[in-house]
Structure 1
Amino acid sequence: MPRSLVQARLLALVLPAALLAGAWGSQLIGGLYPCEMCHWQRWPHYAALVPALLAFVIPGTAAKRAMVVLAALAIAASGAIGVFHAGVEYHWWEGITACTAPAPRGGDLLADILSRPLIRCDVPQWTLGGISLAGFNAIFSLTGAAIILALAFKRRSL
């Protein structure tokens, strides 16, 4: 098996595991509770772990490469969701969930308030250098997926 595919396989496993560990750590240790869109970003990482693990146990280079590519695509999907979520947080566009909708006017205001999530999707809970957690997920996931794909399809040098 080519060395670059070995590297791609390892990165396809470590990247989503590390990003999920960070997400869960910020929630359980840091006290940052995820909004609905934060959960959306986690699902593709969970999905990426399955083909990434399979790439270590199934025989054949082509099969391993296929599993690595599937993992990279799932990681990229999380990054794309992260771009969308970051755009909602930065108010570049509106979100599509109840956690970004303004409170309705009229009717039973208390019932409307109580039915809304406590954690809003359009307000970042934490930033570093102006980049929210959704933004960091987008950066790490899309960059990582591109590196994984480049390694998976790298031709041997002469």
Structure 2
Amino acid sequence: MTRKNLMLLAAAGSFALLAGAFFFQLLGYAPCKLCIWQRWPHGAAIAAGALVGALGPLTLLGIIGLLGALTTAGIGVYHTGIERGFWEGPSDCTGAGDTLAGMSGSDLLSLDAPVDIVMCDEVAWAFLGISMASWNALFSFGFALIWFLALRQRA
């Protein structure tokens, strides 16, 4: 495969994962905070791929795609660790809600609080015992490898 084709393949993979995430959202699986964070680097990889299609396989675009894939894979690993209880996640989307001691009475009675918070430490959907965050990490590491292989090829 040519350098350009490898870059386009990796970007298409990010596009497919991002489209899948939006499809699951349409099916009623609302994303948590970390799920949203995982989407942005895919967007960078997709943009890099679009520019590769328009401008050719520039090294800078390959680096952007590689960094995007590695970033979303890293967030996916972090998210997976939170889901499996290996470490704590952000306090605003994890836990049982039992840390109310620091809140005032007006905070507790406020109607401005969101009612549909999706918890980052709960697996909303899994296939073969692997959560969406874990699948994202696995596939994204694969896309990072493709970006890396593309960068190693001659332009």
Pair in the same fold by TM > 0.5: yes
Do the aligned partners of residues 36 and 127 (structure 1) sit closer, same or farther apart at CA in structure 2, a change above 3 Å counting? same
Tell me, yes or no, if structure 1 residue 82 matches structure 2 residue 80: no
Contact 2:45 2:66 (C-alpha < 8 Å) held by counterparts = yes
Q: CA RMSD in A?
A: 2.4
CA distance in 1, matches of 2:77, 2:112: 29
Structure 2 residue identity aligned to 1:135: S
Residue 17 of structure 1 aligns with which residue? 15
Alpha-carbon shift at residue 114 of structure 1 (Å): 7.6
Q: Of residues 31, 34, 39 in structure 2, which corresponds to 1:37?
A: 34
Unaligned runs of 5+ in 1: none
Q: Of residues 59, 62, 66 in structure 2, which corresponds to 1:65?
A: 59
Residue 148 of structure 1 aligns with which residue? 147
Unaligned runs of 5+ in 2: none
Farther off after superposition, 117-126 or 7-16: 7-16
Do the aligned partners of residues 154 and 127 (structure 1) sit closer, same or farther apart at CA in structure 2, a change above 3 Å counting? same
Alpha-carbon shift at residue 73 of structure 1 (Å): 1.2
Contact 2:10 2:146 (C-alpha < 8 Å) held by counterparts = no
CA distance in 2, matches of 1:112, 1:127: 34
Farther off after superposition, 113-122 or 17-26: 113-122
Do the aligned partners of residues 4 and 131 (structure 1) sit closer, same or farther apart at CA in structure 2, a change above 3 Å counting? same
Alpha-carbon shift at residue 7 of structure 1 (Å): 2.5
CA distance in 1, matches of 2:81, 2:111: 24
CA distance in 1, matches of 2:28, 2:127: 16
Q: Identity rate of aligned residues, in percent?
A: 34
Contact 1:9 1:68 (C-alpha < 8 Å) held by counterparts = yes
Structure 2 residue identity aligned to 1:152: L
Contact 1:5 1:65 (C-alpha < 8 Å) held by counterparts = no
Residue 100 of structure 2 aligns with which residue? 105
Displacement over 3 Å in runs of 4+: 105-117
Do the aligned partners of residues 97 and 50 (structure 1) sit closer, same or farther apart at CA in structure 2, a change above 3 Å counting? farther
Structure 1 residue identity aligned to 2:143: G
Farther off after superposition, 127-136 or 103-112: 103-112
Aligned length: 150
Structure 2 residue identity aligned to 1:69: I
Higher relative contact order (CA 8 A, sep 6+): 2
TM-score normalised to the size of structure 2? 0.84
CA distance in 2, matches of 1:55, 1:68: 8
Alpha-carbon shift at residue 101 of structure 1 (Å): 3.8
Alpha-carbon shift at residue 105 of structure 1 (Å): 3.5
